[in-house]
Amino acid sequence: MAAGGVPDLLYGTAWKEDRTAALTELALRSGFRGIDTANQRRHYVEAGVGQALAAAYRAGVVTRADVFVQTKFTYQRGQDHRLPYDPAAPLSTQVAQSMASSLEHLGTDHVDSYVLHGPASGHGWSEDDVEAWAAMIRERDAGRTRLLGVSNVSPRHLLQMEAAGAEPPAFVQNRCFARLGWDRAVRAFCAERGIVYQGFSLLTANPEALQHPLVGRIAAREKATPAQVVFRFARAVGMLPLTGTSDPEHMRQDLASRGLSLSAEEVRAIESLAG
C-alpha cells in the first residue's frame, strides 16, 4: 500500500448485483487492496462486498488490516426503496444509521474511508450537506472511519464547502472526463490542498482517449493496452484511479499498469488530449 495505508488503485463494486461477492473476492485474490462500495442498494450490493472480504480472510488471502475499505452515505434521492436508514429521521441520524448498516454489511468495526455520495444539490454546498458532513465527522471522531471524502462535486461545491469553514475532505471522487482536461479544475483544487483525487469511469467516459494515436503508440511501445496507459497516466498526475472491471485478465492488467514507463512529456500530452 501507498503512504497512509491508501492503495494506488481501487476496485469499484458498482453495478455487479449477484456477481458482487465473487468479483470482489477475485479482485482481492488478483492483488487489489482497495475496495470501493456504497450503502446504496440501487447500484451496489454492499453485503456482497462483506461476503467477499469474509471469504478472503478465511482463505488467508488478506487480513482486515491489508484492505482499504471505502463506502458512502447516499441521500434518499440517490436511493431506491431499499433504504439503509429511516427516511423520516433527521439527516444526522440517517448518516449514523447508514454507517451502522455498512459496518454490519462489511463485517468490520470501522471503514477506512467514508464518502458523501454526491451533494444534496447540483448548485452548491447546501445546509443538508453541512448537516451530513458534520455527522460524518462525528462518525470519524468515534473511530468508525479513518478518513472522509466527497464525491460527484464541482469546483463550486468545494469552494463553498471551504468558505463555510468545513473540515476539508481527505478524498474527492469524481467521474473523470478527458475532454474536460481529466477534471482539471477539481484536480487542481485538490492538489493545492493535499486532497487525494479519486477518478472513476476513466475508461468508459473516455473512448476517444483510448483510441487516440498517442495512447496507441505508447501502448505498442510498452507492450501494453490503451487502458493500462490511461491507468498509468492517472497515477502519474497524482490521481487514485478506480477500475470496476469484471474480467480477470483486465484485473491483472490494471494492476500491472504500475510497471509502465511514461515520460513527463507523454504525461503532459495525454493530459492535454482534449485541449
Q: Is 78 exposed, middle or buried (0-12, 13-18, 19+ CB in 10 A)?
A: middle
pLDDT at site 108: 98
Q: What is the model's pLDDT at position 8?
A: 95
For each of the domains in the chain, give its residue range(s) and CATH number, in order of start: 3-175 (3.20.20.100), 201-275 (no CATH)
Q: Residues 176-183: what's their mean pLDDT?
A: 95
Distance CA 5, CA 250 (A): 24
- Residue at grid coordinates 455527522: 135
Q: 138-151, pLDDT tens digit by residue? A: 999 999 999 999 99
Q: What is the pLDDT of residue 275?
A: 56
Question: Which percentage of the chain shows pLDDT scores above 90?
Answer: 97
Q: What local confidence, expressed as pLDDT, does residue 1 receive? A: 53
- Residues 12-65: tens digit of each pLDDT: 999 999 999 999 999 999 999 999 999 999 999 999 999 999 999 999 999 999
Q: Residue 168: is its pLDDT beyond 70? A: yes
